[in-house]
Amino acid sequence: MRITYISPLSDLEAELKPLFSNEYMLAFFKYFCIEIESQIWWWRKAKNARYDAEDFLRVFFYSEITGRSIDSASERLNKYFLNKKKGKQKEYADGRKKREVPHQTDVNKLLRRIGLEKARAILRTCLDRQLLEALQLNLLSRKVNVLIDFTEHSYYGKRRDKMIKGTNRGKGTNKMRHYLGFSILSRGLHLFAGLEQMAKGQSKIPVIIKFLEHLIDLGFELNCVMIDREFYQAELLTEIKILNGDVLIPSKSYKKINVMIEEYLKGTGKRIRKYTISSAPGGAKQFFQEVYLLLKAKKGHSLSSVKQDFKKGKLTLDDAKKLIYTVMTTQRPRGDTSSWTSRTSQFYKKRWFIETGFSDLNRMGHRWKSKYDNTRYLDMLVRMLLYNSWKINKAYLQKLNKKAGKTQKWTLQSNQDALEELFLEA
C-alpha cells in the first residue's frame, strides 16, 4: 500500500496559509544566517569554491529541524537536491560523486570556528528578535514574568576544565555542562529568552541581573521573577527588587520557618508571615530582604482541614507539617489575603513552563555529544529558536481562530513538519 504524505499546511484554512508562507516561517533562519555571517567576518569563500556560508548553515539547520545528525542531514539533503536536478551526476576520477550540499565534515569545521563568545552574541540577537516579534504581534504584554532555572547536559569526553562540572545525575558519566536558562511568560505564551553556560565557581547573580537589565533595555517590564530554592540568596532578591521586579520562590526548611508552621497549626500564627532573609555575615557587604511567607496545603488538602485534623488529633504535628509547603514573595499582600495567598501559590506552579520547555528541546532530537562548547551552544540556540517559532505560531493561530470561532491544533511536530516542507522548497 502506498502511503501519501499529508502536509500540516494543508490543514490550515485558506486565509491562514499566507501567514505560514516560506518567507514568514523561515524568517528566523534567514536572520540566523545573517548574524552568523556577521560574526565570521574572517571567513572568505575560496576561489572556485562551490559553497557559501549559508550552504553550510542550511545543513546545520536542517539537521535541527528533522532531529538528525549533521551527517544524516547532509546525505539526505544531497540526495533530495540530486533527485530534483536533471541529467547525470558527475563522477570524479577517484570514484567520488559531485555533491549538491556540503559534507558534514566541512559543516562541523565551520561551526567549530565560531567561538563561544560569538555564539552567545548570536543567541542574544536572534532570541531578542523573536521576543520583539511576539510583542509586535500583540501576543506578549510589555510586563512579563521571568522564569529562571538550571539544566544539565551530560558530557562524555576527557576534558578537565572549568566549563565541565561534576555530577551524580548523569547517565554513564559523572561530568556535565551546566546551563542557566531564562524564559518569559506573558498572556499564556512561554518563550525562551536566554541561555548561559556556567563555569565552576562562577556566581549566578551577576549573570541573572545582566539578563534582567537587558530585558528592560528591550522595552519590557518585570512583573514576577520565579526561581527555585537553589537561588535562595538575599543579594539576588535585593537586586531584583531594585529593578522593580517581585520574586516568587519556595522557602527552605529552616528552623524558624518550621516554627511558623507549627504556630499556625496551634492557632497562634497566621498563614501570611513577614520574614527577613540575610546574606552570611562577614562578607564585603551584607544584604537583607524582607519577604512574605505564604502557607499552602499540598494537592488534595486544604490548609483549614489540615489545621482542624491536627487539633482533633487525627494528625500528629509532624504529619500535619508534611502536608504544608511554604512559598516566599517580595510582593505585598493585596485585597483578601486568603484569596491572594492561594492565587500567588498557584501562580508559582507556572515555573514548570521552563522545565517542560527544556523537555521539549530534548524532544527535537538526540543531544549532541560534541566536545566543543560553542557547537553545543549553537545546537541549544537553534532548538530554542524552533521552540519559540512553534509557540509564536501556535499562539497566533489560536488568536486568529478565536475571532472566527474555530479551533486549530498546532503541535511541535506540526511546526517541525511545516518548517521542513518549506525549508526544502526554499
pLDDT of res. 95:
65
The answer to whether 307 and 265 have CB atoms below 8 angstroms apart is yes
Dig out the grid coordinates for 376 from the structure: 553545543
Tell me the C-alpha distance between 278 and 421, whole Å: 55
Percentage of the chain beyond pLDDT 70 is 88
* Cell representation of residue 123: 543567541
Kindly tell me the burial class for residue 367, based on how many C-beta atoms sit within 10 Å of its own C-beta (0-12, 13-18, 19 or more): middle
Whether the predicted pLDDT of 90 surpasses 80:
no
At residue 45, the pLDDT reads 59
Distance separating alpha carbons of residues 149 and 204, to the nearest angstrom? 11
Hey, what's the cell of 282? 562577614
Greatest Cα pair distance in the chain = 91
pLDDT for position 183:
97
> Sorting pLDDT into bands at 50, 70 and 90, what band is 328?
very high
Whole-number Å distance between alpha carbons of 414 and 318: 49
Predicted confidence (pLDDT) at residue 21 exceeds the cutoff of 70? no
| Angle 68-179-348 from CA coordinates, rounded to 5° | 105
pLDDT band at 254 (very low <50, low <70, confident <90, very high): confident
Beta strands in 140-271 (DSSP E): 143-154, 165-166, 175-186, 189-198, 221-226, 246-250
Alpha helices in 40-84 (DSSP H): 53-66, 70-84
> How many Å apart are CA 182 and CA 61, to the nearest integer?
22
For 95-125, the DSSP string reads S-B--SS--HHHHHHHHHTS-HHHHHHHHHH
- The predicted structure's pLDDT at residue 188: 93
Question: Partners of 338 in the beta sheet?
Answer: none
d(CA 281, CA 283): 6
Average pLDDT over residues 135-153: 94
Q: For residues 366 and 30, give the distance between their C-alpha atoms in angstroms, rounded to a whole number.
A: 24
Instruction: Count other C-beta atoms under 10 Å from residue 121's C-beta.
Output: 15
pLDDT average, residue stretch 326-336: 89
Q: How far apart are CA 7 and CA 141, in angstroms?
A: 33
Query: What pLDDT is stored for residue 85 in this prediction?
Result: 77
For residue 296, give Cα distances in angstroms to 234, 288, 345, 380. 23, 25, 7, 36
| Residue 29 pLDDT class (50, 70, 90 cuts) | confident
- The DSSP secondary-structure symbol of 19 reads G
* Predicted pLDDT of residue 23: 53
Q: Which amino acid is at 321?
A: K
pLDDT 10s digits, 277-326: 888 777 678 888 999 999 988 888 888 899 999 999 999 999 999 999 89
- What are the boundaries of each domain within the chain? 8-87+97-115+370-425
Look at the alpha carbons of 99, 100, 104, 110 in this order and tell me if their dihedral is positive or negative. positive
**Beta-carbon contacts of residue 42 (< 8 Å; ≥ 6 apart):** none
Angle between helix axes 70-84 and 53-66 (nearest 10 degrees) is 110
Give the whole-angstrom CA distance, residue 194 versus residue 152: 15
Is the pLDDT score of 241 beyond 50? yes
Burial class (CB in 10 A: 0-12, 13-18, 19+), 71: middle
B/e letters for 197-214, b = 16+ CB within 10 Å, e = fewer, are bbeeeeebeebbbebbee
pLDDT value of position 236: 93
In the chain, what percentage of residues exceed pLDDT 90? Answer: 38
- What's the CA gap between 63 and 57, in Å, rounded? 10
End-to-end CA distance of the chain: 31
Instruction: Among 105-109, 267-271, 278-282, 370-374, name the one with the lowest average pLDDT.
Output: 278-282
What is the pLDDT of the chain when averaged over all its residues?
85
Among 180, 165, 184, smallest CA distance to 236 is for 180
Grid coordinates of 195: 541561555
- The predicted model gives 225-247 an average pLDDT of 93
Reported as a pLDDT band with limits 50, 70 and 90, residue 8 is very low
Handedness of CA 200, 350, 221, 290 (dihedral sign): negative
User: Which residues, 6+ apart, have CB-to-CB distance to 87 below 8 Å?
Assistant: none
At a CB cut-off of 8 Å and minimum separation 6, what does 318 contact?
Answer: none
pLDDT in tens, 386-421: 999 899 988 888 888 777 677 778 888 888 888 888
pLDDT of residue 415: 85
Decide which of 293 and 366 is more confident: 293
